[in-house]
Every structure is written in C-alpha cells, then in structure tokens.
C-alpha cells in the first residue's frame, strides 16, 4: 500500500484555491477555505493516529517478550516443584526407617527414582575461586 502524503496534497489544493480569481469574502471562498482547514486538521489527526499505532506495536512487542520471560520462569518453577516433590518423598521414606532397623544393619534402602548426588564442601570451592577471579 502506497503511503499518501496528505499534507502535500492539501497544500496543493490550497495553492490551487489561491491561484483562482475569487472574492475573498464570498461564501464560496469561505466554504473552500474551511474545507481545506478541516482537511489539514484531519491530516494532523491521521499522523497522530499512525504515531500512536507504531507506539502500540512497540508496546505489544515488549509485552510479548515479557510474557515469554514469565513463561520461562513458570517452567522453572514447575521443574523446581517436581524436584521438591521428589525430595519430599525421599525424606518421607528415610524418616520411616526406625532406629532399630539402622542399628541392626537391616535397613531397607528407600526407593529412589533418580540418583542423588550429595553436595560437599568441595563443590563450593570452585564457586569461591570464581568469585575471587572477578
């Protein structure tokens, strides 16, 4: 769709009117000048609406980006919830082991659906080294 330059066209029409031989105070000239003034005002409104639409498009893109970030955070929260649920089940199974079972050596290992890696102090040593490098 070709972009129309309304202001240029209105200026052309005003120039045509000025070039005509007419009486300045005649009802016809007053009518034509009023129509041209109204066209200029409408042109200004169209320009403002176009500007506002562009701004809304930018705002919509920003909102879309933020929704994507929220969805990503939601996915992370859901994954964390699953991990916490697993950990809660594991703790529940461990807490059901009685002291007698532990002392007798007949401890039945809890059912673990995923391998568990225990975190040690050495795991944090690398993080501290990285902080010192910064």
Q: What is the mean pLDDT of residues 45-60?
A: 94
3-state secondary structure of 95: helix
The pTM (predicted TM-score) of the whole model is 0.48
Q: What's the pLDDT tens digit per position in 77-120?
A: 888 888 888 888 877 777 776 555 555 655 555 555 566 566 66
């Amino acid at each position: 769709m070709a972009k129309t330059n309304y202001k240029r066209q209105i200026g052309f029409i005003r120039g045509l009117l000025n070039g005509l031989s007419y009486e300045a105070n005649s009802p016809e000239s007053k009518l034509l000048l009023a129509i041209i003034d109204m066209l200029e005002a409408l042109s200004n409104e169209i320009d403002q609406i176009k500007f506002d639409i562009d701004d809304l498009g930018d705002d919509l893109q920003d909102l879309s980006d933020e929704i994507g970030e929220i969805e990503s955070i939601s996915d992370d929260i859901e994954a964390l919830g699953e991990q916490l649920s697993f950990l809660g089940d594991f703790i529940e199974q461990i807490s059901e082991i009685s002291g007698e079972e532990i002392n007798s050596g007949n401890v039945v290992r809890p059912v673990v659906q995923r391998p568990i890696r225990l975190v040690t102090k050495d795991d944090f040593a690398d993080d501290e080294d990285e902080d010192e490098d910064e």
